[in-house]
Amino acid sequence: MNFSKLLIQSQEEERKRLSNELHDSLGQNLLVIRNLLYLYNSVEEKNEDDLSQISDLIKESIDEVKEISANLHPHQLERLGLNKAVGSMLNKIMRATDITITYNADDLTGLIPFEDEINIYRIIQESINNIVKHSGADNASVNIRKRDNTVSISIEDNGKGLDLTDQDLQSKLTEGLGLKSIRERARLINGKILFESIPSGGTRVLVEIKLNRNSDN
């Protein structure tokens, strides 16, 4: 299956996921809010606890909309820049999991086009999502370093690691949708990507991106 087909499949899966989120979470909240408002307005003696519950559900629904919106487009990139947007994303993951993530980044302000920043953000996001889902790690690190005309990104964890001799794993590294997407995003920004198994345990994803590539053409 070529990447175009994988991309279409990914888009359809994303639409399905968003549809489920809207229906199961946001839709349910709005239905409950409607019913609570109906009950609240239908009785003469108002219960402040009911009003507080309605307020909490409205806030929860607003948060759901923000979360769905953030998954569709990382708006924090435009407001905060790449470094702070990545830091914010990692902090959110730490709050939702038991994984401690160390983050260090050189200042890349003005060095990378916004379109490339989106791809870098998604590479880091997808790599961290893989750590959360599959690694069993309790510690991870993300390091972004600029050296001469190259930006190097290292994403490591202390989980169960990769058996690079495993044929199923090799297939996932080359054909799996998530990892294929990471590879394609790296290619689009003139980057090279490497997956490594750390001898002491864990996995390392290395991405090297060449800056000022247009000047070489």
Buried/exposed code over 80-107 (b: 16+ C-beta within 10 A; e: otherwise):
ebbbebbbbbbeebeeeeebebebebee
Mean pLDDT of 152-173: 73
Mean pLDDT of 89-108: 93
**pLDDT tens readout for residues 45-54:** 777 777 888 8
> Is 75-216 a domain of CATH 3.40.50.2300?
no
Q: Does residue 68 carry a pLDDT above 80?
A: no
d(CA 138, CA 157): 8
Q: What percent of the chain has pLDDT over 90?
A: 26
CA 214 to chain CA centroid, Å, is 28
pLDDT-based confidence at residue 130 (cuts at 50, 70, 90):
confident
Mean pLDDT of 98-126: 91
**Do residues 93 and 101 make contact, with C-beta atoms less than 8 angstroms apart?**
yes
State the pLDDT at residue 28.
75
d(CA 113, CA 61): 34
**Do residues 114 and 77 make contact, with C-beta atoms less than 8 angstroms apart?**
yes
State the pLDDT at residue 41.
81
pLDDT-based confidence at residue 93 (cuts at 50, 70, 90):
very high
State the pLDDT at residue 15.
66
pLDDT-based confidence at residue 206 (cuts at 50, 70, 90):
very high
State the pLDDT at residue 215.
42
**Do residues 157 and 196 make contact, with C-beta atoms less than 8 angstroms apart?**
no
Q: Does residue 56 carry a pLDDT above 60?
A: yes
Tokens of 193: 């990507």
State the pLDDT at residue 101.
97
Q: Does residue 115 carry a pLDDT above 90?
A: no
Domain ranges of the chain: 3-72, 75-216
